[in-house]
Amino acid sequence: MARRPFRRTLILASVALGTALAAAGGWKYARASAPLSGPIIIISIDTLRADHLPAYGYGKLKTPAIDELAANGVVFERAYSHAPQTLPAHTALLAGRLPFETGVRDDEGGRVRPGERLLPQLLRERGYSTAAVVSASLLRKETGINQGFDFFDDEMPLNPEEPAAVAGHRDGSESEKIAEHWLDSTGTSRTFLWLHLNEPHAPYAPPDRFSQYAPYDGEIAYADEIVGRLIHYLKTHQLYDRSTIVLLSDHGEGLGDHGEQEHGLFLYDEAIHVPLIIKQESNVGAGRRVTDLVQHVDMVPTILDLVKAPVPDALRGRSLKPLLEGTGRLRERPIYSEALYAHRFAWSGLTSVTYGHYQYINAPREELYDLTRDRRERENLAGRNVETKQAAEALETFGSAATEPGTPAADPKDKWETLEHYRTALDLAEQRKWAEAIALLQRVAGEESLVPHVWNELAGVSWLANRYDVALDAYRHLIALDPSDPGAYLGAADVLLKERRLEDARARATEALDASAEKDTQSRAAAHALLARIALARRDPAAAREEAALAFEADPRLPMPPFVEGRILYDQGKYEDAWLAFEQAVAAGRKPRATPIADLHFYAGDTLARLNREADAEAEFADELRVFPLNVRARAGLATLYHASGQHTAADTAITDMLHAVPTPESYTTAERLLTSFGKTRQAGAVRAEARRTFAASRH
């Protein structure tokens, strides 16, 4: 017993010495110790079910690129994700830790903790250049998943003509081009690249050349084509044989197998069984298929093992190197997964373990399935055999975080139809089918009247549709549900400002300010900015200036004072002076991390147009639409500018684009007014008639 303290001291001294030597030696020693000479590439294909790939036995689709990787690599037939949502799944993948350990458990509001040591950081410490190119805003820098990457590209080009759901995504072919460019620029083959493709994510819209397939499969075929382009690049640069390529998915897709069409609610096999193919350097292990249970958190220790880097003790997974080499087996462990999307609706979250040939799902009504006899999980065996108790005990080994549901709540099995109505409503809104979207959201709100999430969506969609009465009612419900939420007061104030109910708007904005905590500078700045706009509408320059100064004090990234000064001068017809103020606001808005101001570029553009600076005005209108693509006045400004300069075809196109991108009553009224002023009374009449047909139903 007396020897233990001495041994511990010796170990601590050895660790300290090792750390000092590593620091003195720098990364050259680490680099020399790594056996891989070529790139390490992870290709994550979003929402890809394993059972929809030919490499996994699917016969309704051709994927030659993925098939080539499977032929040159090792196919893991039973790989599992830990969450059926994009951000939690990728965070677990790159951290090597489970969602309840990383703290990222939902796409909404999830953020990787600062200082989390993700795989790119661990590889960078081994001398690797690291890069990520992602294709969905769910993985944007603000989530913190960019930690450890030397280069992280998450730029999603805004296309005002695309639905909102598409605007947060980037075509995978564009992402692949950026990845190629980065590989060209590094000057070394010791690279780690994560390429994320958003295809086949809903809404499925594959290129026409894949129309012979079902839409979901067509997007898989397109993703395969993109993978093929990267393989071609690697081959032409003599990198393919030297590359270690990991192809996988973050999670699967419901496709209605258990009611859910998309993903997030359930933990059935179609949601968490993912493809995993690992092609090693020199194609070691080519063609091998592995039936052992493996998981996302195994990727970090596997890659670290391949480069002979130390594996942190905190990791949950294990290196798959013995399985890759065919030199051994791993002792089977239960695989943990969780689905907490249901929390948004105050329903029960789900947790599960997959082990042996069983999956156990912990729900208000627990479930157990034999995946060998019942692959589609139709026969619930829970409570009928000893495996149920064993599975529940296996889940308990993950700790208290895995004990969902903790309090009585609705079972998602009883609520999936409500979720489908909700998602259909959002799809309809993205297609600008306002009346149908509002009706469905009202139905869902009636069924789930205590869920703020639903009322918030109803308010937002109704605002876009110019149904201010419905939006205001939704905000009233939100305020009743949570009187301490400043966002609901701000939303109501914004609607009231739109309706020119200025005193009511000022009262609600003041309530938002009162509800904002002293440290909630963002809400306080937004409230003061809105009060400044209300003061401008009330023709009260002094109050507008005062509120603008307070907004800037709360958020120095928000250049409200020069914007408000410009607005005051603009309203007075002093356009030269107004432009000087707007120019100052525009310049401040171009600084890094500046908070954008709605209508800033519109007013700057309109001011320049009045000063006969047409080219500069056009640029400002374009900047407004780049940041606020639904701004009808900016689109109208462009149309007016084109018409005034004799570009009549461009003016007509601008009006058509406005009606397509923002098909609201305001847009149609604006289009009719513009066409009438252009002397095109027949076209104005046609727009008026179309507006009556389009919006008649939405008023009932």
Residue ranges of domains in the chain, CATH in brackets: 25-333 (3.40.720.10), 346-412 (3.30.1120), 598-700 (1.25.40.10)
The tokens describing 698, both together, are: 């939405």
Beta carbons of 270 and 249 less than 8 angstroms apart: no
Which ranges of 539-698 does DSSP label H, i.e. alpha helix? Answer: 541-554, 560-571, 575-589, 600-610, 614-627, 632-644, 648-661, 665-677, 681-695
Q: Which positions ≥6 away from 22 have C-beta within 8 Å?
A: 29, 30
Low-confidence ranges of the chain (pLDDT < 50): 1-34, 159-166, 700
Determine the pLDDT at residue 407: 58
What's the half-sphere exposure (Cβ side, CA atoms, 13 Å) at 347? 25
Q: What angle in degrees, to the nearest 10, is found between the helix axes of 632-644 and 665-677?
A: 10
The tokens describing 299, both together, are: 């990727």
- Looking at residue 16, the DSSP 8-state letter turns out to be H
Interval 631-685: pLDDT, tens: 999 999 999 999 999 999 999 999 999 999 888 889 999 999 999 999 999 999 9
Computed from CA positions of residues 218, 224, 226, 229, in that sequence, does the dihedral angle turn out positive or negative?
negative
- d(C-alpha 551, C-alpha 563), whole Å: 12
- 3-class secondary-structure state, position 234: helix
Would you say how long the chain is, in residues? Answer: 700
Interval 389-442: pLDDT, tens: 888 899 999 977 666 555 579 999 999 999 999 999 999 998 888 889 999 999
The tokens describing 167, both together, are: 């605007």
**Amino acid found at 381:** L
- Looking at residue 114, the DSSP 8-state letter turns out to be T
Backbone angles phi, psi at 291, to 5 degrees: -105, 0
Determine the pLDDT at residue 5: 35
- 3-class secondary-structure state, position 279: strand
Interval 134-185: pLDDT, tens: 999 999 999 999 999 999 999 986 544 444 434 588 999 999 999 999 999 9
- Looking at residue 219, the DSSP 8-state letter turns out to be H
- d(C-alpha 524, C-alpha 515), whole Å: 9
Q: Which positions ≥6 away from 482 have C-beta within 8 Å?
A: 452, 488
- Looking at residue 305, the DSSP 8-state letter turns out to be H
pTM: 0.86
Parallel, antiparallel or unpaired: strands 358-362 and 350-355? antiparallel
Backbone angles phi, psi at 240, to 5 degrees: -60, -50
Beta carbons of 270 and 252 less than 8 angstroms apart: yes
Residue with tokens 């795989």: 119
Instruction: Count other Cβ atoms within 10 Å, centred on residue 616.
Output: 16
Determine the pLDDT at residue 23: 36
Beta carbons of 132 and 122 less than 8 angstroms apart: no
Determine the pLDDT at residue 673: 96
Q: What angle in degrees, to the nearest 10, is found between the helix axes of 648-661 and 632-644?
A: 170
What's the half-sphere exposure (Cβ side, CA atoms, 13 Å) at 182? 25
Determine the pLDDT at residue 162: 45
Determine the pLDDT at residue 693: 86
The tokens describing 117, both together, are: 């040591």
Interval 248-257: pLDDT, tens: 999 999 999 9
Find, among 627, 566, 650, 432, the residue nearest to 637 by Cα: 650
Q: Which positions ≥6 away from 443 have C-beta within 8 Å?
A: 421
Determine the pLDDT at residue 28: 35
- d(C-alpha 93, C-alpha 226), whole Å: 22
Find, among 626, 618, 629, the residue nearest to 651 by Cα: 618
